[in-house]
């Protein structure tokens, strides 16, 4: 049995570029049918990390990845498929249903979710939890739990 602790890790980054680079590294260990939950305050770097993960997976260039704050779901698809979801403005279960995430969980994709504590998503996919914390203006602590 693999030791769970081996798969947990913590990093400090000192710029958004470093966070994007960490995202690319995390992407190397992600397979389709994985749900990635990104928690942390506003401005903690969830969208920035997603730029790295999506570009590392070959789903989009980092500049193409923008916050799905208002659109709620972005789909990136090139060499692989990534859905980037923001639950911040989803206020009730009806709105959640209209996002059609159940169908997404039937696809060969990786799903990345910001503000995952707002709703529990139903899926049997393995979950990678990543928490981002402000340390200072340009420093963030990134904890990965698998
Ligand atoms: N080390 C860092 N990692 C990530 N973002 C950083 C870092 N230092 C400064 N920032 C800035 O913090 C902001 C993070 O914003 P964003 O990724 O949209 O956060 P969130 O999606 O968590 O609200 C960006 O303006 C980014 O440039
Ligand atoms: Mg964001």
pLDDT in tens, 50-83: 999 999 999 999 999 999 998 999 999 999 999 9
Q: Give the closest residue (by CA) to ligand 1 atom 18.
A: 47
Q: Which structure tokens are listed for 37?
A: 């939950």
Q: What mean pLDDT comes out for the span 112-127?
A: 97
The count of residues in the chain is: 146
Domain 9-116 has CATH 2.70.98.10: no
Q: What pLDDT is recorded for position 7?
A: 73
| Cα of 121 from ligand 1 centre, angstroms | 25
Instruction: Quote the percentage of the chain above a pLDDT of 90.
Output: 95
| Cα of 46 from ligand 2 centre, angstroms | 5
Secondary structure element (H or E) that encloses residue 134, with its range: strand 127-136
| Cα of 3 from ligand 2 centre, angstroms | 31
* Tens digit of each residue's pLDDT (9 = 90 or more) over 8-29: 999 999 999 999 999 999 999 9
- Domain coordinates in residue numbering, the chain: 9-116
- Does 5 have pLDDT greater than 60? no
Angle at 49 between CA 3 and CA 137, to 5 degrees: 110
Ligand closest in space to the Cα of 68: 2
């Amino acid at each position: 049995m693999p030791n769970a602790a081996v798969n947990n890790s913590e990093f400090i980054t000192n710029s958004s570029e470093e966070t994007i680079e960490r995202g690319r590294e995390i992407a190397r260990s992600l397979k389709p049918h994985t749900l990635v939950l990104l928690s942390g305050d506003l401005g903690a770097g969830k969208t920035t990390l997603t730029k790295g993960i999506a570009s590392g997976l070959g789903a989009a260039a980092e500049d193409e990845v923008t916050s799905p704050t208002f659109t709620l779901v972005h789909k990136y698809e090139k060499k692989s498929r990534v859905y980037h979801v923001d639950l911040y403005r989803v206020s009730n279960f009806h709105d959640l249903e209209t996002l059609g995430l159940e169908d997404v969980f039937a696809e060969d994709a990786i799903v990345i979710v910001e503000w995952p504590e707002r709703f529990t998503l139903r899926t049997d996919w393995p979950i990678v939890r990543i928490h981002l914390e402000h340390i200072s203006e340009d420093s963030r602590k990134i904890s990965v739990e698998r």
